Amino acid sequence: MHIAIDVRSLMGGRHSGVEEYTTQIIRAMSRVAPLHTYHLFYNSAKNVMLPKFRENVVVHPFRYPNKLLHASQLLLGSPKWDTMLSQHIDVVFVPNSHLVPLSRDVPLVSTAHDIAFERFPEFLTIKRRLKDSLMRPRDLFIRSDHIIAVSEYTARDLIDIYSLHENSITVIYPGVASQAGGIQPVDVQHVVQKHGIPSKFFLFVGTMEPRKNISSIIAAFSTIANRISQNLVIAGEQGWKMRELRNVVAASPYADRIHIIGFVEEEDKNALYAAADLFVYPSFYEGFGFPPLEAMINGTPAVVSFNSSLPEVVGSWATLIDPYNTSQIAAVLEEMLVSPTRVPKSVQQEIREKYSWDRAAKQTVKILESVV
């Protein structure tokens, strides 16, 4: 079977949850179902460095002016992606919400990560809202022969907000990748020295945007900083409304103990998690949420919001807090940071077994085969 996969989310070199999902699900599908051929397509005038994939993965780059192509597809519904590909395609898989005009007879499967822009538009800039609306996610999901939701919560959002039928949606949990051979003390020492951070810290990892509620982490830290030995480290790509976040940091009396280190390379991320005494993630909304699981499989306890998909995803493994209650966040952080503990190996293994990329890939391939 020839499976076309939209990988435009990988063009910018970002590595948020969507990019992690896209990369890992392609790698796993090509591994567990090697008799299929996977055709990756994108359009960019610039050279794009995609991740490395197996031999049964073929890349189809297009070099049209991006704005012109997008405008034509948006307004005219053409050119259609399946006709642009020189290869006959049995099914198209869209692992992220993008405008994907296709011929009527081409089966389509899409993945829904979240619909945060519908739930919390106030957290987005006007430019970001416009971009999300132009992707027409509702039209994509209505056109899809089947939809993969990354959590039960996201599936329920699709049903409640877009009035989609539950029979058209299957929940398939993504996997969580850990470092082969585990993290060694030398790995931890390297990542601490590389990023110039203290040896004792607690951690947030994620795109720096208002929905992640980083300002509440800073407020909670400022409340307890004089009673704990750890500093605060904030890692991740810059999102939007960064000036507001920098102002919050500058206003803290403990600004010199707040370290914003930016994007962390994949080869360093597991060691960074392992180096932290605690991981905190008081997000207002998540369709899934990789970082708490990534922290816990590296032995670091997680404090996570009691909202959206997060209780479903982390279960009893993490400590849950109200993201709107800064005093509660501060109290929980202080209690856990005064006497830090580690996540037991047995729990780390439970997480790996529940969130397996090979299992997710097998279920995804089964869905793709079923619509052909």
| Same domain flag for 111 and 19 | yes
Q: What is the pLDDT of residues 25-50, one digit of tens each?
A: 999 999 999 999 999 999 988 888 89
Give the pLDDT confidence score for residue 14 in this predicted structure.
Answer: 65
Q: What is the pLDDT of residues 193-207, one digit of tens each?
A: 999 999 999 999 999
In a domain, 100, yes or no: yes
| Same domain flag for 195 and 165 | no
In a domain, 6, yes or no: yes
Specify the length of the chain in residues.
372
Number of CB atoms found within 10 A of residue 157's CB:
23
Non-local CB neighbours of 77 within 8 Å, separated by 6+ positions:
101
| Same domain flag for 109 and 248 | no
110 closest CA partner among 157, 158, 145, 74:
145
Buried b (16+ CB within 10 A) or exposed e, 333-346: bbebbeebeebeee
Rounded to an integer, the average pLDDT of 243-257 is: 94
Higher pLDDT, 77 or 215: 215
| Same domain flag for 157 and 135 | yes
| Residues forming a β-bridge with 112 | 149
Rounded to an integer, the average pLDDT of 343-357 is: 95
The CATH number of residue 23's host domain is 3.40.50.2000
In a domain, 350, yes or no: yes
Give the pLDDT confidence score for residue 1 in this predicted structure.
Answer: 96
In a domain, 180, yes or no: no
Q: What is the pLDDT of residues 149-191, one digit of tens each?
A: 999 999 999 999 999 999 999 999 999 987 655 788 888 888 9
Question: What distance in Å separates the CA atoms of residue 98 and residue 185, rounded to the nearest whole number?
Answer: 42
Q: What is the pLDDT of residues 308-320, one digit of tens each?
A: 999 999 999 999 9
In degrees rounded to 5, what are phi and psi of residue 191? -70, -35
| Same domain flag for 234 and 297 | yes
| Same domain flag for 323 and 342 | yes
276 closest CA partner among 365, 349, 350, 183:
183
In a domain, 81, yes or no: yes
Rounded to an integer, the average pLDDT of 239-266 is: 91
The whole-chain average pLDDT of the chain stands at 92
| Residue 4 near residue 82 (C-beta atoms within 8 A) | yes
276 closest CA partner among 248, 302, 247, 305:
302
| pTM (predicted TM-score) | 0.92
Q: Cβ-count burial of 72 within 10 angstroms (0-12 exposed, 13-18 middle, 19+ buried)?
A: middle
Please give the sequence-ordered ranges of beta strands (E in DSSP) within 14-166, or none if there are none.
Answer: 37-43, 57-62, 91-94, 108-112, 146-149
Instruction: Report whether pLDDT(288) > 80.
Output: yes
Give the pLDDT confidence score for residue 355 in this predicted structure.
Answer: 96
| Same domain flag for 24 and 136 | yes
Range of the domain at 61: 2-175+356-370
In the DSSP assignment, the letter for residue 314 is H
Query: How many domains does the chain fold into?
Result: 2
Rounded to an integer, the average pLDDT of 322-339 is: 96
Tell how strand 37-43 and strand 57-62 pair up: parallel
How far from chain centre, in Å, is Cα 35?
28
| Same domain flag for 9 and 143 | yes
Percent above pLDDT 90 for the chain: 72
| Same domain flag for 157 and 232 | no
Provide the residue type at 238 as one letter: Q
Give the pLDDT confidence score for residue 144 in this predicted structure.
Answer: 96
In a domain, 366, yes or no: yes
pLDDT level of residue 13 (50, 70, 90 thresholds): low
Give the pLDDT confidence score for residue 243 in this predicted structure.
Answer: 87
Question: What distance in Å separates the CA atoms of residue 129 and residue 124, rounded to the nearest whole number?
Answer: 6
| Same domain flag for 170 and 270 | no
